[in-house]
Structure 1
Amino acid sequence: MSRSSLARLALLALLWGSGFLWIKLALRGFTPTQIVLVRLTLGALVLAPIALARGMRFPTGRMTWVHLFVAALVANAIPYTLFGIGERTVGSNVAGVINATTPLWTVLVAFLAGTDRSVSWRRGIGLALGFAGTVLIFTPWESANEIASWGGVAILAASASYGVSYVYMGKFLTNKGIPPIMLSASQLAAGAVLMLFALPFGGLVAPHWRLDAVGSLIILGIFGTGLAYVLNYRLIGDEGPTVASTTTYLLPLVAVGLGALVVNERVTLPMIAGMIVVLGGVALVQRRTSRAPTEAPSHTETDTSTRPGK
């Protein structure tokens, strides 16, 4: 990997890994619904001008927009809102660690949906390890554990929703002749429209205009949602989807580190052990992807349109 790509990978991991912290801080002044609406709007406002300046045009097909709205629902509106709800009661470090289960959910959903029925012993062991690590993170045998709460369940459900979105977009939106950056800009715009309809559900409350909350929301929307897409596209174009996918391993490390340093969140031994087990499972599951060069174009498209759902 070139030095410039390595720098982009590190910056991308920082942007996405810190997103859990920005959500936590933004909740000090805004509701989850308000956070998601502003985040998606700012992300679309960053990506759309870039796409239009490159001569791209918004999709015109009716069914394409139907699929975009469904994708925005399961990849943006639902999981982003669930992360906001979950982080009201659990730490941003916990959210980052649980989010590492997303690739495992993706494989499971793809198998159940019939889009990928190939199962090797590595993938089987990887899935088993991943979900064992998830149980270890939750430590349900500790009744006082904040993770074993509805907040933790909401974050786990958000990660599962990401898994559904990867499979859905891979089937209905990628490889359809729409440039990934325009596909993503359109999806974020569709998500913003959906969140406008969701405003009556927790979005009509007067926000608290705290400086830390406003700053966090701006950073989350412009940098963590908009700029992160651009970096991801460039990284995939220069190094390929396999290298770009390694951000999966870095996000929980960034989330745990920033949570401990910035907001003094407690780091427990089960959390660290569970994170290691989950990432080990993800490594085994993803080994098949790196050995399947004939599928590279499909994975490239899927990554470019769905990765920034963090």
Structure 2
Amino acid sequence: MCYEVIDGIVTTMSPATVSTQTPSRPAERAGRPLPWRVRFAFLSLIWGFSFLFIKVGTEGYAPFQVTFGRLLFGTAVLAAAMAVKRERLPRGARTWGHLAVAGFFLNALPFSLFAYAELTIPSTLAGICNATSPLWGMALSLVALSEDRPTRLRVAGLGLGFLGVLTVLGAWQGFAGLDATGTAMALLASLSYPVGWIYVRRTLAGSHHSNLSLTGGQLLLATLQLAVVTWLFAGVPSHLPVLPLLAIAALGAFGTGFAMLVQYGLVAEVGPTTAQMVTYFVPVIATAAGVALLGEHLTWSTPVGAVIVLAGAALTQARPKAQNRIAQAAPKGTGLSTPAESQPTS
């Protein structure tokens, strides 16, 4: 679930200009951001609860309606942020064409697949399937990106991660009790993220536009895509259940829009390597929320398999020492990362 933004691929936003005047202490405290650990915890919680919000949203609305609402609220938040920062949307037909593809693979497709998946599978399972995204990313980057060279440790992590997936699904029992279609949709949603990352890396690397501008355009196009799809296949809801609507609003405004803005600050302050570690907390929180608040059943294989998946995902992101030295030498605001290191959110 976790990077939805085009991070580590294009130029990051520059920090705000520092005033030459010495501010008073109250003003200084007012303009000081929350500690990065607090923002990190917020990001973990909101992305972990996203799967619960999806489940609640689909109890009152069709999956495409849930996805459209999510994108609409998320785009509204980014539009407000762009207005405050006086950012403009990208220009150029070619850039917009690439953003349309990125919006499809990074937002419209995975969001829709997760919404449909949670019609038949628990939110806990969806959250764990989301954690397989770095595994798919590593596998695809080895094929699509010549600069990503396999190492024994990363290959071992890939094998360990997919062993964890089989454990979660209870392969030794013949996947009994699982909905194959819903599970496949959740796994395909996780696969869609690295496909989008690799496409963006190949087409938008080095763009002079800011992350906020590009991501705002990306979400806008994804919203327009879902507007058409929703109108054709789901139509307008005949009634508006309040609780599911609030869940969709929270999912879009906080889990998609506001979370992106928080993530920008984290990457700029602590670097992409630390910021992306939020992904390892997401399935834990998603599982706890599903069991505690939705009463979802949990067997021993689910948490055990999830731990194996996360361990494998961590190994796939192990980099050679020389590459680590390069990343550490780079300024924290540059956001150097590979598609396998950038994590999606649900």
Alignment match, 1:63: 94
Give the Cα–Cα distance (whole angstroms) in 1 for the partners of residues 146 and 231 of structure 2: 37
Are positions 1:31 and 2:33 aligned together? Answer: no
1:82 to 113, 116, 121: 113
Instruction: Assess, with a 3 A threshold, how the Cα gap between structure 1 residues 208 and 56 changes in structure 2: closer, same or farther.
Output: same
Shift in Å, 1:78: 0.8
Q: C-alpha distance in 1, partners of 2:253/2:67?
A: 12
Describe the SS at the equivalent of 1:119: coil
Return closer, same or farther for 1:34/1:43 CA change in 2, 3 Å cut-off. same
- Out of 279, 286, 296, the position equivalent to 2:310 is 279
Please tell me whether residue 125 in structure 1 is matched to residue 162 in structure 2. Answer: no
Match of 1:43 among 70, 74, 95: 74
Q: Are 1:43 and 1:185, in contact at CA under 8 Å, matched by a contact in 2?
A: no
Which residue among 256, 279, 299 is the counterpart of 1:248?
279
**Contact persistence 1:30–1:207 (CA under 8 A):** no
Write the distance in 1 (CA, Å) between the matches of 2:338 and 2:148: 20
**Structure whose alpha-carbon radius of gyration is higher:** 2
SS at match of 2:35: helix
Instruction: After superposition, give the CA deviation of every residue in 1:26-54 in whole Å (9 maximum; x if it has no partner).
Output: 00111111111111111111012212322
Q: What amino acid sits opposite 1:299 in the alignment?
A: L
Closer, same or farther in 2 for the Cα pair 1:68/1:293, shift >3 Å?
farther
Name the Cα RMSD after superposition: 2.3
User: In percent, how many aligned pairs have the same letter?
Assistant: 31
Tell me the distance in 2 between the aligned counterparts of 1:298 and 1:239. 10
CA–CA distance in 1 between the matches of 2:192 and 2:180? 18
Which structure 2 residues correspond to residues 119-158 of structure 1 after superposition, within 5 A?
Answer: 119-143=150-174, 145-158=176-189
Deviation at 1:136?
Answer: 1.3
Q: Which residue of 2 aligns with 1:294?
A: 326
Question: Structure 1 residue 165: deviation in Å?
Answer: 1.1
User: What is the DSSP-based 3-state SS (H/G/I as helix, E as strand, rest coil) of the residue aligned with 1:199?
Assistant: helix
Q: Which residue of 2 aligns with 1:193?
A: 224
Question: Over residues 32-88 of structure 1, what are the superposed CA-to-partner deviations in whole Å (9 max), with x where a residue is unaligned?
Answer: 111111111111110122123223211111111111000011111111110011000
Deviations 1:256-287 (A, max 9, x none): 00001100111111111111111111111112
Cα distance change on mapping 1:51 and 1:293 into 2, 3 Å: farther
Which residue in 1 is equivalent to 2:125?
94
Question: Offset at 1:248?
Answer: 1.2
Paired amino acid for 1:124: V
- Out of 224, 231, 256, the residue aligned to residue 262 of structure 2 is 231
- What's the TM-score, normalizing by structure 1? 0.92
Deviation at 1:205, TM superposition (A): 5.4
Distance 2:56 2:239 in 1: 12
Query: For 2:34 and 2:209, how far apart are their aligned partners in 1?
Result: 30
Gaps of 5+ in 2: 1-32
Distance in 1 (alpha carbons) for counterparts of 2:175 and 2:313: 29
Contact 2:141-2:340 within 8 A present in 1 as well:
no
Mapped contact 1:67–1:173 kept (Cα < 8 A): yes
Once the two structures are TM-superposed, the CA of residue 138 in structure 1 deviates from its matched residue by: 1.4
Q: Which amino acid in the other structure matches residue 186 of structure 1?
A: G
Count of aligned pairs between the two proteins: 308
**Cα distance, 1:177–1:272 mapped onto 2, change above 3 Å:** same
Alignment partner, residue 15 of structure 2: none
Tell me which residue corresponds to 1:160: 191
Give the TM-score of the pair, scaled to structure 2: 0.83
Alpha-carbon offset, residue 309 of structure 1: 4.1
Greater shift after overlay, 178-187 or 281-290? 281-290
Give the unaligned 5+ runs of structure 1.
none
**Cα gap change, 1:90/1:208 in structure 2, threshold over 3 Å: closer, same or farther?**
farther
